[in-house]
Amino acid sequence: MRKVIRIFWALFFIGLVGFIALITCIVTGVFGKLPSLHELENPSLTLASEVYAADGSSMGKYYTSRGNRVHVDYKDISPNVIHALVSTEDERFYEHSGIDGKAVLRAVLKLGRDGGGSTITQQLALNMFNGERSHNKIGRVIQKLKEWIIAIQLERNFTKEEILTLYLNDVSFSDNVYGIRGAARTFFQKEPADLSPDEAAVLVGMVNNPSLFNPRTNPRAATERRNVVLNRLASHNYLSEAEATALKAKPIDISHYRKLDENNGIAPYLRDILRGDLKKWCREHTNPATGQPYNLYQDGLKIYTTVDPRMQQYADEAVARQMPVLQRQLDSRTAIKKGEVWQDHANVLEAAMHSSERWRSGAEAGMSEAELKASFNTPVRMRVFAWTPTREKDTVMTPLDSIKYHRQMLQTGFMVMDPFTGEIKAWVGGIDFKTFKFDHVNLSTKRQVGSSIKPFLYSLAIEDFNFTPETECEAVQQYFPEYNAYVPAKARPNVSGTRTMATGLTWSINEVAAYIMKSFGPKGPDRFAEFLKQINIPTAVQPYPSLALGACELSLYEMMSGYTMFPTGGLNVEPYYIARIEDKHGNLLADFTSKQKEVLNQVTAYTMARMMQGPVDFGTAKGLRERLGLAEMGGKTGTTNDNSDAWFIGYTPQLLAGVWVGCDDRFIHMGAGVGDGGQAARPIVEYFLQKALADKSLGLNRNARFAKPDSIPPSSLYAGGDGIIEKTPPPGAEGVDQGNGNASQYIIDTTSKTRSGQY
């Protein structure tokens, strides 16, 4: 007996010494570094940065694969979630100091059949500091001891509420959703504070096994697990038995399920542009907590934009209403139906094939070029974009036909802003972000602007050369000897005589614009190019006479910036879309406002605003103001050669809206009569304004008027334009007889192409 006792004590002390030695090795980092006190006091969750609209609603997030989480404070988490978590995962959470001895003993004696011994604090330690669960038995023992040590340290440094908050912000749910806020929004479109007991039970039930208890893919198992959690809530008196029974009888309602990704959410094109701006901002600013530049995908930044969700919705609806109509008209053209449009553009198709993923993967697999080309002519099942509710359809076609099909899709760019503050209210960069990522609004995307440039030309004529709306202008082709060029490129015998400047703008008569440019003198094109720079158009344009007709490439963003001077009384207001940036705790890091610059005399700006009512009353956008019921409005259409580009930019005293329509390849274009700015682009702005004006929450006033200067020169324009604006289309009116010539006839360099392939 004495020998047995001696052996027992010897083994006990050997085991105790060995355990102490093992703990010492763990603490000293022999089996891997433990978090420092600083790291424990400042735990770094990988938090998604979230983008918010002007009303505070979420637009989307930027995150890594495991960083799709957004921080939420304890006070903003429903007690239903807290009670469900503690009751189910760690019923003695408020009693232990990181390690639950009873749970550990139960797990050892019953070999884990009634659950493991991990506390919420230990699970937090594993998730935040200890990596993935080890599958090696010895490794798992060491990992478990690490969890105990970290758990005790966490309990010493944080309150119970802080530990629960850290855990709920970090834990993973089904569908690769991390954090309670992301889970509440994804499965129930709610904030964590608004979760009901049964919804909280569904989410907490996922924690145990996210893939098994996913209510979307495995509703039966998820319901059973939810009911287990509800039973725990009842057993701990957070619910009555009757309440638990009633809730268990309900099916799980995930009819509002919506997982945000880059392809959905509010204004995805703007968010994609915003990403680049934010990366640049992060590189240039240091996070004081880490001493490193901010990380857009990990630091949980809160980015507040100027986007108005209601206006964005109406902008999306306007595009979705007009573009399928235009697409049907384009598809009905003989050149499209027979494929003739591609006869001289095999190089475009060749380049598209070579840049495709199909070509790259085939080449990596060792396929020859002949085999690769053959594969592009073999019909396969595929999913393509279509104007359906889901924006896609299943079909069978060759990959080459798929390239043609998608490149023949008409695209658009649509932007709405407050011309006084510069706040961008809506941004639609294309017809579908999932399929077509290229944005058609931003500064770097430029298209030939056509007649939408003419208000700038007319402004210069009034500002510097004493033109008035009543000034008579020759409506004939003009010769510019300094350039050996005619503008327009082709003379039109039926266009002759004189027209008032107001009529020339109303009906967008090219000959009148050419006369105005000629009136500026031999250096007229240079002066106009300089004027564009003065009004903050950043793109340098070539000073050719054809600039009067818009034979240059500018972005919709630039055109919108330029047009701000008309409703504002001569101020150029730079558009902007970031209002402010905050850190994850809501501390302000940066705020932004627009830059303003006086670029026009107030009288000139008012005269232009009134003169630009002509196009929306009588001219190329006839009847628009009346249909919208507006007291005052200005606007201008634009149409380029062969109807490759259609523009309309319109404004009220409160809003400015601009749209471009066309195909990325300029040789694919709409037909005459449907492809001009008044027919193709104007309906998008009109539908948007109809919806926005009808929405009383937006505070738009149909009776608002442009600010009238104290003293203005006498003009019949201000009394309705009687006598100086022709009410019926005169010869040469845009949309009636374009007569602009081909792109090659303009004296500009048409050889360079942008990434979209347009001139």
Give the length of the chain: 759
H/E stretch holding 457: helix 454-465
pLDDT at 29 (0 to 100): 55
**Mean pLDDT throughout 124-132?**
64
Q: What tens digit of pLDDT does each residue of 286-306 get?
A: 999 888 999 998 888 999 999
Confidence band of 239 (pLDDT split at 50, 70, 90): very high
pLDDT at 743 (0 to 100): 34
pLDDT reading at 740 higher than 70: no
pLDDT at 459 (0 to 100): 98
**Mean pLDDT throughout 551-562?**
96
Question: Where does 418-482 show beta strands of DSSP type E?
Answer: 424-428, 447-448, 472-474, 478-480
Spell 67-86 as b/e; 16+ CB within 10 A means b. bbbbbbebeebbebbbbbbb
**Mean pLDDT throughout 528-551?**
95
**Mean pLDDT throughout 169-195?**
89
Q: What tens digit of pLDDT does each residue of 409-443 get?
A: 999 999 999 999 999 999 999 999 999 999 999 99
pLDDT at 518 (0 to 100): 96
Range of weakest confidence among 96-110, 337-351, 418-432, 628-642? 96-110
pLDDT reading at 133 higher than 70: no
pLDDT reading at 27 higher than 80: no
Neighbours of 713 (CB within 10 A): 11
pLDDT reading at 116 higher than 60: no
pLDDT at 96 (0 to 100): 83
pLDDT at 745 (0 to 100): 44
pLDDT at 211 (0 to 100): 86
Neighbours of 442 (CB within 10 A): 21
Range of weakest confidence among 13-22, 50-59, 443-452, 601-610? 13-22
**Mean pLDDT throughout 238-249?**
94
Confidence band of 144 (pLDDT split at 50, 70, 90): low
pTM for the full predicted model: 0.79
What is the C-alpha to C-alpha distance for residues 661 and 669, in angstroms, rounded to an integer?
10
Exposure on the CB side of residue 113, measured as CA atoms within 13 A: 3
Looking at per-residue pLDDT, the higher value among 540 and 1 belongs to 540
Confidence band of 741 (pLDDT split at 50, 70, 90): very low
> What is the crossing angle of helices 219-235 and 197-208, to 10°?
110
**Mean pLDDT throughout 197-211?**
92
pLDDT at 756 (0 to 100): 28
pLDDT reading at 630 higher than 60: yes
- Residue 102 in tokens: 């009873």
**Mean pLDDT throughout 338-346?**
92
pLDDT at 675 (0 to 100): 78
**Mean pLDDT throughout 738-759?**
35
Question: Where does 452-556 show beta strands of DSSP type E?
Answer: 472-474, 478-480, 485-487, 498-500, 553-554
Q: Which residue has the tokens 């209601």?
A: 310
Phi and psi torsions of 129, nearest 5°: -125, -10
pLDDT at 732 (0 to 100): 83
What is the C-alpha to C-alpha distance for residues 631 and 557, in angstroms, rounded to an integer?
27
Exposure on the CB side of residue 591, measured as CA atoms within 13 A: 4
What is the C-alpha to C-alpha distance for residues 108 and 112, in angstroms, rounded to an integer?
7
Looking at per-residue pLDDT, the higher value among 602 and 28 belongs to 602
pLDDT reading at 108 higher than 60: no
**Mean pLDDT throughout 515-541?**
96
Confidence band of 258 (pLDDT split at 50, 70, 90): confident
Confidence band of 182 (pLDDT split at 50, 70, 90): confident
H/E stretch holding 278: helix 268-284
Q: Which residue has the tokens 């340290």?
A: 153
pLDDT at 111 (0 to 100): 46
pLDDT at 748 (0 to 100): 36
Evaluate whether 567 touches 653 at the Cβ level (below 8 Å).
Answer: yes
Please return the burial class of 24, using the count of CB atoms within 10 Å of its CB with bins 0-12, 13-18 and 19+: exposed
pLDDT at 443 (0 to 100): 94
What is the C-alpha to C-alpha distance for residues 557 and 555, in angstroms, rounded to an integer?
5
What letter does residue 299 receive in the DSSP assignment? B
What is the C-alpha to C-alpha distance for residues 513 and 509, in angstroms, rounded to an integer?
7
Q: What tens digit of pLDDT does each residue of 651-664 get?
A: 999 999 999 999 99
Neighbours of 223 (CB within 10 A): 18
What is the C-alpha to C-alpha distance for residues 167 and 120, in angstroms, rounded to an integer?
7
**Mean pLDDT throughout 494-499?**
91
- Residue 65 in tokens: 């694969």
pLDDT at 131 (0 to 100): 53
What letter does residue 677 receive in the DSSP assignment? I
**Mean pLDDT throughout 63-86?**
84
Q: What is the mean pLDDT of the chain?
A: 86
Looking at per-residue pLDDT, the higher value among 95 and 221 belongs to 221
Q: What tens digit of pLDDT does each residue of 682-728 get?
A: 999 999 999 999 999 999 999 999 999 988 887 777 766 667 888 88
What is the C-alpha to C-alpha distance for residues 743 and 642, in angstroms, rounded to an integer?
8
